[in-house]
Amino acid sequence: MYGAQQWSAGWSAPVQRPSSGFEENWSEAGFDRQSVRQVVRVTTSGTRARVRLSNRFGKKPLTVSAASAGLTDGGAALRPGTLRELTFDGAPSVVIPAGGQVTSDGVELRVERFDSFTVTLYFAGPTGPSTFHAQAYTDSHLADGDRTADAGSEAFTERTHSWYYLSDVELAGDEEAQHESVVAFGDSITDGFGSTVGADRRYPDALAGRIAAEGLPWAVINAGIGGNLMLHDSLWYGDAAVSRFERDVLDKPGVRSVILFAGLNDIGFSEVDLPTYKPAPDVPVTELVDGYRALIERAHERGVRVIGATVLPFKGAEYHTPRAEAKRVALNDWIRTSGAYDAVADFATALASADDPELLDAAFDSGDHKHPNDAGYRVMAEAVDLSSL
């Protein structure tokens, strides 16, 4: 009955290798006889839902012993009447091969735009280190035993700010939800570093709000990874942008446009000697431009529009130097004037201090001089011309 139904991207997060990350998480320890309850915010609506789970960085097959989904009623609690068991080809459990992924069967569930959607996974045996997304900026919850059938939150006594194994929520059944999405692709500024945890105030969230207010049916997918590099893989900060672009952008259902916003870490990491900022080669602007051009070409081959975003000022940050600033200026000049993009979102001009263009405006600075605060993320979203999407 549902085989021909088209699915839309409701929510997505790029997956990463297990690592200690920016703050305490459970990825390296993994799980054993425990339930992980995760909350995400969808940006379209539907009457059916399914999830995708990833074991991309697992070293062995992963057994998901039970799984459920529902709508969030605050914290780890579910709204009454919304809990649904998830199955996989009709079975209540599934084994995901090392490096693989799996999609659940669809379940009947009315999901509205901007609902918080909860997924609970139970692991009856040790998982080993877990494929995850490090910086969720919202709570995930942990409980002992199988709690997939619990609508309440009492058993979930531990929290973290990461997502585990969950890479996508897809929705179907609403004409207005089908079938296009806008992907925000980038590093920690796209991921939402510096935004209020649990408040959904990242720039892609603000952009989704603008799109909804205009009556446009598009989803907004956040494909940011904190610390991500354009040209090099990182143990902490994910596969390089040029490596993960297909997986995290072009392979998502119904992508119509992508906002390409990356390069700051390639510019900055080589300016400091910190163990987490590795690899840290001195990357010339010409190599970054080549990387941008390759992504633009791949997107255009799929019929996807590309909006280029300028790199924000970062004077006062730990890796701002005259050499790094010269690279930023040259790269932004190319983004603005090359004509390689379908449109440009000039984030740098929108957030720069009126007194010093190398500096984030203090009203938009989260405190580290490179990541915006909630107000800055709103301004970034406002700098995107919706007609360009």
pLDDT at 174: 73
- 157 domain residue, yes or no: yes
Structural tokens at position 3 = 């085989």
pLDDT at 305: 98
CATH of the domain at 274: 3.40.50.1110
pLDDT at 23: 85
- 1 domain residue, yes or no: no
Q: Do 264 and 343 lie in a common domain?
A: yes
**Listed residues 171, 188, 221: the one ending a domain:** 171
Structural domain count, the chain:
2
Mapped onto helix, strand or coil, the DSSP state of residue 344 is strand
pLDDT at 4: 54
Q: Do 256 and 356 lie in a common domain?
A: yes
Q: Is 239 left (phi over 0), alpha (psi -120 to 50) or beta?
A: beta
Per DSSP bridges, beta strands 116-123 and 66-71 are antiparallel
The structure's pTM equals: 0.96
- 2 domain residue, yes or no: no
**Cβ of 354: how many Cβ atoms within 10 Å?**
7
Helix, strand, coil percent values for the chain (each to nearest 5): 25, 30, 50
Q: What residues of the chain score a pLDDT lower than 70?
A: 1-4, 175-178
Residue 167 lies in domain: 8-171
Q: Do 167 and 185 lie in a common domain?
A: no
**Listed residues 113, 137, 171: the one ending a domain:** 171
Q: Do 214 and 266 lie in a common domain?
A: yes
Residue 21: which of 166, 226, 230 has the closest Cα? 226
Q: Do 160 and 16 lie in a common domain?
A: yes
Mapped onto helix, strand or coil, the DSSP state of residue 271 is helix
pLDDT at 2: 42
Q: Do 213 and 356 lie in a common domain?
A: yes
Q: Do 151 and 220 lie in a common domain?
A: no
CA distance 30 to 42: 26
Q: How does pLDDT run across 108-130, given as a tens digit for each residue?
A: 999 999 999 999 999 999 999 99
- 149 domain residue, yes or no: yes
- 129 domain residue, yes or no: yes
pLDDT at 177: 45
Residue 338: which of 263, 382, 286, 387 has the closest Cα? 286
CA distance 37 to 148: 8
- 151 domain residue, yes or no: yes
Q: Do 167 and 191 lie in a common domain?
A: no
Q: Do 137 and 227 lie in a common domain?
A: no
Listing DSSP states for 50-76 in one string gives EEEEE-TT-SS-EEE-EEEEEEBSSTT
Q: Do 162 and 184 lie in a common domain?
A: no
CA distance 217 to 219: 7
**Listed residues 171, 196, 226: the one ending a domain:** 171
CA distance 88 to 144: 23
Strand partners, 307: 259, 343
- 331 domain residue, yes or no: yes
CATH of the domain at 81: 2.60.120
Q: Do 105 and 149 lie in a common domain?
A: yes
CA distance 131 to 198: 22
- 3 domain residue, yes or no: no
Tally of residues, the chain: 389
Q: Do 304 and 321 lie in a common domain?
A: yes
Reported in sequence order, the residue ranges of the chain that DSSP labels E, i.e. its strands, are 8-12, 34-41, 46-54, 62-64, 66-71, 84-85, 94-96, 101-103, 107-111, 116-123, 132-133, 140-144, 158-160, 163-164, 166-172, 181-186, 219-224, 255-261, 305-309, 343-345
Structural tokens at position 346 = 């000039």
Structural tokens at position 98 = 């090392």
pLDDT at 1: 36
